[in-house]
Amino acid sequence: MELTVLNVVIAFIMLVLAILLDLALGDPSPNYPDRWVFKLHPTVLMGKFTKKIEPYFKNPNPKTEKVLGVLLALTVIGAFALPVYFGLWIIFSYVSIFVYAFIGIILLKMTICIKLETDWAKAAAKAIDASDLPEAKKYSHFSRRESKDLNGAEMGSAVIESMSENLIDFKLSPMMSFALFGVTGAIAFRAINTLDGMVGFKTKEHINTGWFSANLDNFVNFIPTRLTALLMIVAAAILRLDAKNAWRIAHRDHKKTPSRNHGWPMAVVAGALRIQLEKPGQYILGDAQEPLTGEKILGALRIRDVTIVLWGLLCVVVLVVVRLFWFMPI
C-alpha cells in the first residue's frame, strides 16, 4: 500500500513538474527549423518518420491502401510508444523510481505546449492592436491557412481558432493520457495526433493511407473535446464572460467546422467573447457582437488558462483512481 501511495504522489509530481517545465522553457520555435533542439523534438521526429515511411504503405488498390494505412499508424505509434514503455519499465523496475520520474517528466513535458503558444498569442495580439500586420503574420504557424491576404481581424480569428484546437491536442489530451496510461500514453497520443497532422487529410495523396489516422484522432479526442467545451463554459463563468452565450453558440455552431471535434472549443470561445470566428470560404462561428481585437486574443488565453487548471484538477482525480484501484501505468 505504501508503494502504491508513493506511485500516486510521484505521478502527481511528474504531471505538475512537466507543466512547470514547459512554462519555464517552452518549446523550440518552428520559425527556426534548423536548430538541433527543434530537429530532435519528438513531435518533429514523429512527423519526419511518418513522411519517410508513408510511401512504403502506398498501393494502387484503395482498399489495400486503407489496410496499409492502419499498419502505417500502428507502426508510427509503436515506433515511439514501445521504446518509451520498455525503457521506463526497466528503469522503474531495476534502477530507481526517481530516475524513472526524472526521465518521465522530460518526456511528458515534450507532449505539452503552453508557453510557446502563450508568447506568440501575446505578440500577435500586440501586433494586431498596433495594426502591424507584417509583425502579426510572423505568428502564422498558429494555423495552416495562408496569412498573406488576411486582415487584422482575420489574423486574430486564425490565432484564436488555433489556440482552441491546440488546447485539446497539445495540452489537455496529453495530460489526460498521462493520467490514464502514464508517460507511454502521452507519447502514444502525441504520435496519434502527429499522424493526423501529417496524413489525416482528404487529399488524393493521403485519403487512403491517412483515413485510419484521422479517425483514430477523432476517436481519442471525442470525449475530451466535449468535456473541454463544458469546462471552457465554466471558465467563462469564472472569468465573468458571457457563459450563457458560449453555451448557445457552441450548441448552434459546433457542427460547422470540417472537424467533428474542434468546432466545440472554437464555438465556445466565440460565444464567450461575443465575437465571430471565420475561416474564409469554409465556416463562420459566433456572432459579431463585438470587434475582434488583440484584447480578444488575450481573453481567449485567459479562458484557456482557467480551463487548463480545471482539467488539471480532473487529471489528478483520474490518476489517483487509476493508480490506487487499477494499475500503475508506466
Is 242 among the domain residues? yes
Return phi, psi of residue 284, to 5°: -130, 130
Confidence (pTM): 0.95
Instruction: Look at the chain and report how many structural domains it folds into.
Output: 1
Report the percent of the chain where pLDDT is more than 90.
Answer: 83
Is 151 among the domain residues? yes
Is 107 among the domain residues? yes
Is 85 among the domain residues? yes
Report the percent of the chain where pLDDT is more than 70.
Answer: 96
pLDDT digits (tens, 9 = 90+) for 214-248: 999 999 999 999 999 999 999 999 999 999 999 99
Is 281 among the domain residues? yes
Is 330 among the domain residues? no
Min mean pLDDT across 2-6, 189-193, 223-227 is at 2-6
Is 176 among the domain residues? yes
Asked whether the predicted pLDDT for residue 1 surpasses 60, the reply is no
Q: What is the pLDDT of residue 88?
A: 97
Q: What is the pLDDT of residue 143?
A: 61
What pLDDT band is residue 141 in, cutting at 50, 70 and 90? low
What is the domain range of residue 14? 2-325
Is 88 among the domain residues? yes
